[in-house]
């Protein structure tokens, strides 16, 4: 059973701080990794995708991947109250559907 684990939170950070969201996965052959943001009552929207070890930056967001440790993280710099949402980690292992974690709830306090 392929699993993706996330701390459910809530993770509370002050406005302007760095929010760090973590995700571990069980399938060693996983190849593609995604972070989705989901606001309450809305559907998930894609924030970042990462496929290679290391960091990938997009604006205030940085995804970090360590395949040896089976670990992927998302950093949000200069956190804003509008970043308050649930962040879903999703992992793909080639010929299988995306497997999602249950999400981490982030609360950015103004």
Residues in contact with another protein by the rule CB under 8 A = 31-32, 34, 36, 42-46, 49, 51, 88, 92, 94-103
Tokens encoding 70: 């089976």
What is the full DSSP assignment across 51-85? Answer: -SSEEEEETTEEEEEETTTTEEEEEESS--GGG-E
**Closer CB to another protein, residue 25 or residue 36?**
36
Return the SS3 of 24: strand
Shortest reach from residue 18's CB to another protein, in Å: 25
Shortest reach from residue 15's CB to another protein, in Å: 27
Shortest reach from residue 43's CB to another protein, in Å: 4
Between vectors from CA 32 to CA 26 and to CA 36, what angle results, nearest 5°?
A: 90
**Closer CB to another protein, residue 30 or residue 79?**
30
Return the SS3 of 10: coil
Shortest reach from residue 100's CB to another protein, in Å: 4
Tokens encoding 64: 């970090």
């Amino acid at each position: 059973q392929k699993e993706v684990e996330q701390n459910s939170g809530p993770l509370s950070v002050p406005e302007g701080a760095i929010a760090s969201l973590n995700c571990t996965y069980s399938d060693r052959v996983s190849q593609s990794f995604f972070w989705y943001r989901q606001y309450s009552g809305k559907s998930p929207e894609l924030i970042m995708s990462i496929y290679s070890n290391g960091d990938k930056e997009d604006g205030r967001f940085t995804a970090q991947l360590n395949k040896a440790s089976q670990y992927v993280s998302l950093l949000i710099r200069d956190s804003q109250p509008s970043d308050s949402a649930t962040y879903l980690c999703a992992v793909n292992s080639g010929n299988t559907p995306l497997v999602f974690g249950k999400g981490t709830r982030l609360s950015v306090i103004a």
